[in-house]
Amino acid sequence: MNIIVVIIFFVSFGISQGTRYLDEVFEDVGKTEDAVYANSPDLPFWFWIESNTQDIDLDMDIYEPVGDTLTSRPVIIFAHTGAFFSGNNELDDVVDLSISAAKRGYVAVSINYRLGLNVLSSYSG
């Protein structure tokens, strides 16, 4: 009888711990803001918004589970919506997805990208 109680305890403990990458197994998430990952140089043509042609650093926010002991973790990269005309990596849906992924054990990266697109230029694409 005692062995059955011990088995039930360990099975229920394992279930309550959740499954990494599927369930939220971490309570807290750390965030590194505005890490530069690339640079977009000046563009030699006109955009709808002229400031979009200037040299800019492209940055990202990095979300990681606090207290995770693994050193090699899969990364999910999130890019905001906006079709290259609007948006940023601080939009509620991107932040919520990044936090949720980090709580599951992933490293989540939410990137900013250059806004603007000149459909008449192959250089822009």
Bridge partners, residue 61, by sequence: 110
- Residue 30 belongs to a domain: yes
Coil vs helix vs strand at 78: strand
Residue with the two structure tokens 């948006």: 87
Q: Which residues contact 14 (CB under 8 A, 6 or more apart)?
A: none
Let me know the angle formed at the C-alpha of 52 by 46 and 57, rounded to the nearest 5 degrees: 135
- Residue 106 belongs to a domain: yes
Does pLDDT of 5 surpass 60? no
- Residue 39 belongs to a domain: yes
Q: Give tens-digit pLDDT for 16-70.
A: 568 999 999 999 999 999 999 998 877 766 665 655 667 889 999 999 999 999 9
- Residue 7 belongs to a domain: no
Distance CA 31, CA 67 (A): 13
Sign of CA dihedral 73, 74, 80, 85: positive
Q: Give tens-digit pLDDT for 73-93.
A: 999 999 998 887 788 898 899
Q: How many domains does the chain have?
A: 1
